[in-house]
Structure 1
Amino acid sequence: MAPVRRERKRLPDSGTRISGLAGGGQKAVVKVVSFASGSARVGALASYVTKEREGGVATEDQDGLALDSAAVVAKLARWSQGYSERQPSKDVATVRFEVAGRAGLDVETVQTGFGRAFEGYRFALRVERAGEGGFEVTAVVAAAGDPALSVAGAKAQPRFKFDKAFEASLAAGIARGLGAEVQAQVLGTGHGREGALHRLSLLVAGGAALDERGRELSTVDDVRAAADAWRKGLGSRQARDAMHFVVSAKAGTDPTAFRSTARELLASEFAGHEYLFAVHNDRGHLHAHAVILVKGEDGQRIRPDISTFAAWRSRYAEIAESHGIRMVATRRSDTASAPAFSQGEAALTDRGVAPDHIRRKVVAKRGDAIHVPVREEGRACAVQAYQAWKALETTSEAPQARSAAGEQLTRLATAVSVSHAAAARADGSTDMQEKGAAMARARSEYLTAEFKRANDVLNRALPLLEGADKVEATERANAYLASLAKQVEAVEAVERGQVAERAHGIRIREEREAIDANGEARSLKATAIEAGRPRGAETSPETASEPEAAMLEEAAARAERVAGRERPEAEAMAREERALRANPNTRVQIDPNLPHAGEELREEHELLIDRLEAQKLTYTRVHRR
């Protein structure tokens, strides 16, 4: 009988989520660590999950039956009979070419010919001479065309199959392009990023290679960077027989209630799928690991997406609550939390070989760093969370809730303000004056509100503390208020940076106008001189008369006067720009030669200075109090 599938639960609304967290509820943490295919990989995964460790490990299956090691082995053997026979995709290949039969052929021509043959694909090749007029070319090429290398609107490149037909077709195409005899042979293939890394490493072991953009690959770092760049466009496909599923809970959670929660969650969400699971407590907190067959009794396969994880977290929290564990299904944006990292990314980081972007990702998550959203929808979610926490802080009378709100408001205010600053810097298509002012106002409002909020929290919290706790809280609060004051000052500095940029724009315009006026004056003067020459028999009837020459001279004089006025204005704006960039905190000395636009900019800068000084006074009063 086909399993009954539950309707997916939605996450609670933001107010409910925030209220639950503020009340001491722990986050519902659900992960899919990896997928495995084939007997060896699934067996290795099951071995890790069921391995005996500190605190003991009890394994059970979807029917609630306890499994010893022999039962686990028997279960895996039965599972293996239904594993997919599909092989991992061949994503990269090493191909060796022999080129001969054309006198005068040089290395550069060979490289160009192969580049045309692999156009639209990721590749790297090494060219070596082989006798008189001959070459041996070793190339590593991706099977799938990479959209990043294709012309916009162009038809997608076909996927190479790395078979005999591929060898013959590729050799024939290169031979036509070079006018030489070419033979090709596939030496080996690889799967995924690791396969690309292995093949590229073998290639450069024989000498430096060039990639599709003409960049040299010769070191380990070069090869790793290339493999990372190839990864997204490889189109890797691999059978998924089993999924490694993990739920966890904070230290101090009741182990019996947690095991019951994990058991009920698995039965609820993976009805019709066989699995085994065990609870570990060897890392200071509880976590349940499950190995779940991806294909269910009804033939349906598990294909988790974002909405799936949201439903799993929601169901996990609901079941945990029923077993007395306070838990909340949340979004990352509720607490400005960094994205999760994978097991592979953690391993690379721990070995010290991870690329910078992966290392930063792992360090940020482990250190609970504030996540700064980069897209508008992310900023909107962060703002929504800020508003929910602010509403809770305003209405709640529970000290624990107010304290939690204070911490999260700080994180979210920082995330939003930094995100707005980054968006303002990146948005070069919008008028700087209008967009910059809007972004600056938003940042200032968040930071100023946060400054006032922190001061209010301090005033409410201090009377509740005594002795050393009160001293420590006062010191920390003052340090935080000082950092906020510096943030406010930094925001103003950003605004003044925009003033300097606008000063630069005005200077460029004034310089251009001065140059144009000078050119016009020279042109008019030359025309006036030509018009004033004596007229001979060969003079055209259309030639200007002497009165017209006088008019041209007068126009030239006017143009020279304009140029004479524009030059000092351009020089004044250059001085203004240098002063703003050198010391944006100081009022700039008045320059009588500033153009009208420069004077308006000066007035705006004065207002910013006044505002900054007022905020410094506010900080001083709060700090003293």
Structure 2
Amino acid sequence: MNDLSRSRSASKPGSRRLPSYFDLIEDELRRRGGGGGGSAKRSTFTNSGLPSAKHPGAASAFSRAAGNNAVVVKVLSYGAGASSARNVLAYQSKEEKARDQDGREVTDLSAAVRSWEREFGNRKGSQDILRLTYELEKANREHLGRALASLAEDGFRQPGDGDRTYAFSVSEGVKGQTRLQFALVIAHEKKDRSDRSSANRIPAEIDDVRAIDERLDKVLRGAGITPVSRYPAEFSSGPKGLTATLHAMQRAGAEVTLSTKTHLRDRPGKSGRYERGGERREVTTKDHKELTAEGKVVGALMQTRQPRDFMHLLLSGPANVDRDRFILAGRDFLREQFEGHRYSYAVHNRNDLEQHPHLHVIVALRNASGKMLNPNIRDFAEWRVRFADKARERGIPIDRQKRLERAGPPPVKRWEWEMFRRMGATAPSNVVEKVMSKLRDTPTAPKREEARTRFDQSRRSVGHVIRMLDGIAKDRGAPSTARELSQDLSIGLRREYGRLKTAVREGRDPT
């Protein structure tokens, strides 16, 4: 019996149980079909009282009209290394202790981190920045700058490779010598953020490092600068690694010169655009904040290859759900879906009945046999369906409907919200429209053909159900309870029907 029929049954005196709403509809279908009712007529509804998967649009509409929330299963982030795992484990356990894949309570955070560290503690990030340090005979900074600029024009790894970002600093070395610290971006630097190529990446192999070192040595000697010794090569990973390298070169008050073709082009009324190309620009500074800002500009177009050791997963349910049964459903889903993987989960908002309860889960992507989990959008859709099924097995009416099948507002990414909050009306028009649609709960028209097809199917299903309900509500021969409930549910379905029509037609709220 659904919540709607339960509330009406409770208001009647006496101990006789009134038939549920869906019992009455099935009686009506059997009556119209003639005789005792065939199995074909009865198969329209499931044991849970909802239309079957044969009519997904109708099932979704009934579920939404009854107040059931769509299940939320999404990846909040990916991470690499034990320190990142520690942060997630500490966050997920902020309200109550987590439990691992064996159901054991995680009481010692340090011990848990050590166990995760055994899984991927020796993993390293991609090697994107090469750092070479030399001891030179007494040298002049201007001469060094000109020598490096001439090599940048020709190419650090080979002739023609002249677009790379590099940086250098000059400070006092040992025994009165000059210390040169040189950093080179060996990762592929994209032309803009839409660039998906990686042809310009230099492998972090010993032969490539030796080739760069030989070309650097040759150009320095050609400028009359004699290298005395070189320290071991160092590598760093990603935009943060670039910024950390620049900061390390700036220690002891040394000025750092950054030379790059990456720049942030201003656009009136819009956010800036990161581009690579045109003339080189040089920035020489010892200011910590300026180096950080320049590192972020270069890092925005750096194609890094960070490893993924684990994912931070969120399972969320509606605020009015039975918390204990919801947690058991989440446990069942994790045990079945991630068998063989290390994971731990913890509950947030268990006792705050006004908030949505949710599970924060950390899952190792590599299982015990070494197989790597690489989830994509199809996996997320499948996980959503499986989690909803587990919830329904526990008696929780969670809607397993996909976002494609809803006439809901578009999801807003964190960076879009931050940009809108910071820039307001001057933010890019597409970001403003997206955020305002979310705030106003405005449905948007689907862009993919698959989504349009599903919207049309849902629209037809909802329309069919509304017509059936109207027929029951106007049928004087039907029980009064069936007529009243049909009219109530028809109102809710009409709202859904209107949202679907609006979304398919123009993506705007009729009001």
Question: TM-score category by the smaller chain?
Answer: 0.5 to 0.7
Contact kept? 1:334, 1:385, Cα under 8 Å: no
- In structure 2, the partner of 1:62 is 101
- In structure 2, the partner of 1:404 is 496
Contact kept? 2:168, 2:183, Cα under 8 Å: no
2:232 and 2:62 mapped to 1: Cα distance? Answer: 59
Shift of 1:312: 0.4
- In structure 1, the partner of 2:346 is 278
Matching residue within 110, 116, 129 for 1:92? 129
Shift of 1:194: 1.9
Q: Deviations over 1:448-469 (max 9, x none)?
A: xx9xxx5xxxxxxxxxxxxxxx
Matching residue within 369, 392, 404 for 1:321? 392
Shift of 1:400: 0.8
Specify whether residues 340 and 274 from structure 1 end up closer, same or farther in structure 2 by C-alpha distance, changes over 3 A only. farther
Shift of 1:288: 0.7
- In structure 2, the partner of 1:199 is 245
- TM normalised by structure 1 equals 0.50
- In structure 2, the partner of 1:384 is 453
Matching residue within 329, 333, 347 for 1:265? 333
Specify whether residues 411 and 208 from structure 1 end up closer, same or farther in structure 2 by C-alpha distance, changes over 3 A only. farther
Q: Which amino acid aligns with 2:239?
A: R
- In structure 2, the partner of 1:30 is 73
Matching residue within 297, 304, 316 for 2:375? 304
Contact kept? 1:280, 1:286, Cα under 8 Å: yes
Give the 3-state SS of the residue equivalent to 2:186 in structure 1.
Answer: strand
Q: Deviations over 1:349-391 (max 9, x none)?
A: 79979xx78x959957974776978xxx934245335424542
Specify whether residues 37 and 13 from structure 1 end up closer, same or farther in structure 2 by C-alpha distance, changes over 3 A only. farther
Q: Which amino acid aligns with 2:406?
A: D
Shift of 1:320: 1.9
Shift of 1:79: 4.6
Q: Deviations over 1:182-218 (max 9, x none)?
A: 7566775322232233335666883553203413557
1:347 and 1:338 mapped to 2: Cα distance? Answer: 12
Contact kept? 1:333, 1:381, Cα under 8 Å: no
Specify whether residues 322 and 387 from structure 1 end up closer, same or farther in structure 2 by C-alpha distance, changes over 3 A only. same
Shift of 1:18: 4.6
Matching residue within 369, 380, 395 for 2:464? 395
- In structure 2, the partner of 1:49 is 92
Give the 3-state SS of the residue equivalent to 1:86 in structure 2.
Answer: coil
Q: Which amino acid aligns with 2:346?
A: A
Specify whether residues 38 and 128 from structure 1 end up closer, same or farther in structure 2 by C-alpha distance, changes over 3 A only. closer
Shift of 1:50: 2.0
1:17 and 1:182 mapped to 2: Cα distance? Answer: 78
Structure 1 unaligned residues grouped into runs of 5+: 1-10, 416-446, 455-479, 481-625
1:302 and 1:368 mapped to 2: Cα distance? Answer: 37
Q: Which amino acid aligns with 1:211?
A: T
1:263 and 1:139 mapped to 2: Cα distance? Answer: 52
Specify whether residues 392 and 206 from structure 1 end up closer, same or farther in structure 2 by C-alpha distance, changes over 3 A only. farther
Specify whether residues 326 and 260 from structure 1 end up closer, same or farther in structure 2 by C-alpha distance, changes over 3 A only. same
Q: Which amino acid aligns with 1:406?
A: G
Give the 3-state SS of the residue equivalent to 1:159 in structure 2.
Answer: coil
Contact kept? 1:88, 1:191, Cα under 8 Å: yes
Give the 3-state SS of the residue equivalent to 1:284 in structure 2.
Answer: coil
Specify whether residues 197 and 303 from structure 1 end up closer, same or farther in structure 2 by C-alpha distance, changes over 3 A only. same
- In structure 1, the partner of 2:152 is 114
Contact kept? 1:26, 1:327, Cα under 8 Å: yes
- In structure 2, the partner of 1:288 is 359
Specify whether residues 32 and 389 from structure 1 end up closer, same or farther in structure 2 by C-alpha distance, changes over 3 A only. same
Give the 3-state SS of the residue equivalent to 1:378 in structure 2.
Answer: coil
Q: Deviations over 1:451-488 (max 9, x none)?
A: xxx5xxxxxxxxxxxxxxxxxxxxxxxxx2xxxxxxxx
Aligned pairs, how many?
Answer: 383
Structure 2 unaligned residues grouped into runs of 5+: 1-52, 173-177, 262-276, 467-489
Alignment of 1:107-506 (within 5 A): 110-118=148-156, 119=161, 122-125=164-167, 139-146=182-189, 148=191, 156-157=199-200, 159-161=202-204, 166-174=208-216, 179-180=222-223, 183=227, 188-200=234-246, 206=255, 209-212=258-261, 213=277, 214-217=280-283, 219=290, 221-230=293-302, 233-236=303-306, 238=307, 240=309, 242-281=310-349, 284-323=355-394, 324-332=396-404, 334-335=406-407, 337-339=409-411, 341=413, 360=431, 367=439, 378-397=447-466, 398-415=490-507, 454=510, 480=511
Contact kept? 2:57, 2:459, Cα under 8 Å: no
Shift of 1:246: 1.4
- In structure 2, the partner of 1:584 is none
Greater percentage in strand: 2
| Structure whose CA Rg is larger | 1
Q: Which amino acid aligns with 1:25?
A: N
Q: Deviations over 1:501-555 (max 9, x none)?
A: xxxxxxxxxxxxxxxxxxxxxxxxxxxxxxxxxxxxxxxxxxxxxxxxxxxxxxx
1:340 and 1:13 mapped to 2: Cα distance? Answer: 30
1:360 and 1:185 mapped to 2: Cα distance? Answer: 48
1:99 and 1:394 mapped to 2: Cα distance? Answer: 85
Contact kept? 1:338, 1:368, Cα under 8 Å: no
Specify whether residues 146 and 248 from structure 1 end up closer, same or farther in structure 2 by C-alpha distance, changes over 3 A only. same
2:210 and 2:184 mapped to 1: Cα distance? Answer: 16
2:317 and 2:356 mapped to 1: Cα distance? Answer: 6
1:128 and 1:108 mapped to 2: Cα distance? Answer: 13
1:341 and 1:38 mapped to 2: Cα distance? Answer: 25
1:30 and 1:371 mapped to 2: Cα distance? Answer: 21
Q: Deviations over 1:392-415 (max 9, x none)?
A: 453342211211232344345444
Contact kept? 1:247, 1:262, Cα under 8 Å: yes
Contact kept? 2:412, 2:435, Cα under 8 Å: no
Shift of 1:310: 1.4
1:12 and 1:177 mapped to 2: Cα distance? Answer: 73
Contact kept? 1:17, 1:328, Cα under 8 Å: no
Specify whether residues 402 and 389 from structure 1 end up closer, same or farther in structure 2 by C-alpha distance, changes over 3 A only. farther
Q: Which amino acid aligns with 2:129?
A: V
1:100 and 1:305 mapped to 2: Cα distance? Answer: 56
Contact kept? 2:92, 2:360, Cα under 8 Å: yes
1:395 and 1:13 mapped to 2: Cα distance? Answer: 10
Give the 3-state SS of the residue equivalent to 2:165 in structure 1.
Answer: strand
Contact kept? 1:49, 1:289, Cα under 8 Å: yes
2:374 and 2:201 mapped to 1: Cα distance? Answer: 26
- In structure 1, the partner of 2:472 is none
Contact kept? 1:88, 1:239, Cα under 8 Å: no
Greater percentage in helix: 1
1:279 and 1:365 mapped to 2: Cα distance? Answer: 31
Return the structure number with greater relative CO, CA threshold 8 A, min gap 6: 2
